[in-house]
């Protein structure tokens, strides 16, 4: 038997106010996140957390700017994400934060309290009237780092990602340029033991 009723239907679009996009290095997560913000038809605001410390990082920033193209307002804020989101979020703006991983690095090197800053960020996300897309890296899937600072960073990044994913309406893993929706997933069965 064939026909339109036999074909799987596409899932209904998900209305999301907070989206977490995660993945490995060069996986395509920023490009995917930029596409979400651009498709919103709202004013596009890019919150950059990177602080360029060398020429290679400056080149990465330039590549990201060129990739985004015109039509974006950029705010550079390495540490006070909660403050920026509180000041900038409106129903008419879609904000892209790129990325939480560099933000966390900045906090650790400034000897700030990542747990307290994550709590501030979570509160700002809950209070934001407009959509916010946050990019982060999955860093804990590899080997255990050999030094204490790297292990602390890996652990803090895992906690940060988990906390933001819990409050996000949508969480997407991008691997090899392909998005996999982790939350919500109507296709994954409930598992009972």
Q: Which residues of the chain have pLDDT under 50?
A: 1-5, 7
> In the beta sheet, which residues pair with residue 171?
20, 183
Q: Give pLDDT, residue 3.
A: 46
Q: What is the pLDDT of residue 192?
A: 65
Tokens, residue 50: 């990177």
CA pair distance 73, 103, nearest whole angstrom: 19
Length of the chain, in residues = 193
Q: Is 64 a catalytic residue?
A: yes
| pLDDT the model gives residue 64 | 77
Residue that the structure tokens 């036999």 belong to: 6
Instruction: Identify the active-site residue in 29, 64, 68, 93.
Output: 64
* Distance from C-alpha of 107 to C-alpha of 79, rounded to nearest angstrom: 6
Q: Distance (Å, rounded) from C-alpha 179 to C-alpha 168?
A: 16
How many CA atoms within 13 Å lie on the side-chain side of 141? 9
Q: What is the pLDDT of residues 64-108, one digit of tens each?
A: 788 777 899 999 999 999 999 999 999 999 999 999 999 999 999
User: What is the pLDDT, as a whole number, of residue 10?
Assistant: 60
What pLDDT was estimated at residue 90?
97
pTM for this structure?
Answer: 0.88
Q: Rg for the chain (alpha carbons), in Å?
A: 18
Cβ neighbourhood burial of 159 (10 Å; 0-12, 13-18, 19+) = middle
Tell me how far CA of residue 136 lies from CA of 88, 113, 133, in angstroms. 20, 19, 10
Q: What residues have CB less than 8 Å from 24, skipping those under 6 apart?
A: 137, 138, 141, 175
Distance CA 35, CA 68 (A): 9
């Amino acid at each position: 038997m064939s026909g339109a009723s036999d074909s799987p239907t596409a899932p209904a679009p998900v209305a999301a106010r907070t989206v977490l996009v995660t993945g490995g290095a060069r996986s395509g997560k920023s490009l995917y996140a930029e596409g979400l913000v651009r498709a919103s038809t709202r004013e596009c605001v890019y919150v950059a957390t990177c602080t360029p410390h060398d020429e290679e990082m400056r080149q990465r920033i330039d590549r990201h700017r060129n990739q985004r193209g015109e039509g974006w307002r950029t705010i550079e804020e390495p540490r006070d994400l909660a403050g920026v989101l509180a000041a900038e979020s409106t129903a008419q703006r879609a904000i892209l934060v790129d990325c939480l991983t560099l933000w966390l690095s900045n906090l650790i090197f400034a000897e700030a309290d990542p747990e307290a800053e994550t709590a501030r960020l979570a509160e700002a996300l809950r209070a934001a009237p407009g959509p916010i897309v946050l990019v982060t890296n999955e860093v804990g899937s590899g080997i255990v780092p050999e030094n204490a600072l790297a292990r602390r960073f890996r652990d803090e990044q895992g906690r940060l990602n988990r906390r933001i994913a819990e409050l996000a309406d949508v969480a997407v893993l991008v691997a090899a340029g392909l998005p996999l929706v982790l939350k919500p997933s109507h296709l994954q069965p409930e598992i009972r033991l």
